[in-house]
Copies of this chain bind each other. A is one copy, B any other.
Amino acid sequence: MSAKIVSEAAIRRLPAYYRHLRELEAAGVRQVSSKELGERLHQTPSQIRQDFNTFGGIGRQGFGYSVSELKTRIGAELGLDRGYQVIILGAGSIGSAVARYETFAREGFRIMALFDIAEERIGTEIGGAKVYDVRELERFLQENVVDIAVIALPASAAQDAMRRLEAGGVAAVWNFAPVDLQYQSSRMEVVNVHLAESLQVLTYRMAHRGEAAD
């Protein structure tokens, strides 16, 4: 792995490259040029070549790239060349959706367990994973290797959950609670989803249709 400074914007483009390469591979395409990828992704070919150079010197511009090689290379860069053991805190609507989302299982994210405080949910199964009493979280973390915790809790409960996860040795959190958790600890990796804020970007655009900013 290179130790170059990689911009946050470039990191966020990688999953889109990966998705398009997977689509090309599924369609039987074997070679792709930076121009063709650029057209698919609405980026300039030079941006694409620059990104591929940044991520460890993926070369061969002019001759095109091998779709499967490039996909494997970018998948490894994204950490998708391994499996992940996942737990979900909160078995409400969002937590249940993540547990049931087949795409994640197919891509190597194994949902080990959910945790909740509601008596009626504890002991049930969601998407094939058992719902535990959240009081069992510490014991579970002692007995199992957990790579990623999904926080699907109200904002008021998310901070305490972070503390317990960190104490239990969980290094990565995918957070759906409407609160920015990334600043609370320097030892954990956190990505915040903020669904409501994504919807508000849509309503912003609806409210400002036809303005110069469009």
Taking Cβ atoms with an 8 Å cutoff, the residues of A that contact B are 1-6, 11-12, 14-16, 18-19, 42, 76-80, 84, 92-94, 96-98, 100-101, 103-104, 107, 109, 127, 147-148, 171-174, 178, 180, 183, 189-191, 193-209, 211-213
Are A171 and B79 in contact (CB-based, < 8 A)?
Answer: no
Copies of this polypeptide in the complex: 2
Are B204 and A77 in contact (CB-based, < 8 A)?
Answer: yes
Min Cβ gap A165→B in Å is 14
Are B201 and A12 in contact (CB-based, < 8 A)?
Answer: yes
Are B94 and A212 in contact (CB-based, < 8 A)?
Answer: no
Q: Known contacts being A180-B16, A189-B206, A206-B171, is A3 close to B200, with CB within 8 Å?
A: no
Which of B98, B148, B178, B204 is the one whose CB lies under 8 Å from A19?
Answer: B178
A178 to B204, CA, bound (A): 23
Q: Which of A84, A93, A180 has the most CB of B within 10 A?
A: A93
Min Cβ gap A84→B in Å is 7
Query: Which residue of B has the minimal Cβ distance to A147?
Result: B206
A155 to B138, CA, bound (A): 38
Are B191 and A199 in contact (CB-based, < 8 A)?
Answer: yes
- A-B interface, 3 closest residue pairs, ranked by CB to CB distance from nearest: A79-B207, A15-B197, A97-B97
Are B206 and A172 in contact (CB-based, < 8 A)?
Answer: yes
Q: Please give, as numbers and ranges, the residues of chain B lying within 8 Å of A42 by CB-CB distance.
A: 180, 183
Are B200 and A18 in contact (CB-based, < 8 A)?
Answer: yes
Are A191 and B198 in contact (CB-based, < 8 A)?
Answer: yes
Q: Please give, as numbers and ranges, the residues of chain B lying within 8 Å of A202 by CB-CB distance.
A: 148, 172-174, 189-191
Query: Which residue of B has the minimal Cβ distance to A93?
Result: B100
A14 to B172, CA, bound (A): 27
A213 to B199, CA, bound (A): 30
Min Cβ gap A51→B in Å is 13
A84 to B204, CA, bound (A): 12
Q: Please give, as numbers and ranges, the residues of chain B lying within 8 Å of A97 by CB-CB distance.
A: 93-94, 96-97
Are A101 and B201 in contact (CB-based, < 8 A)?
Answer: no
Which of B1, B18, B103, B212 is the one whose CB lies under 8 Å from A211?
Answer: B1
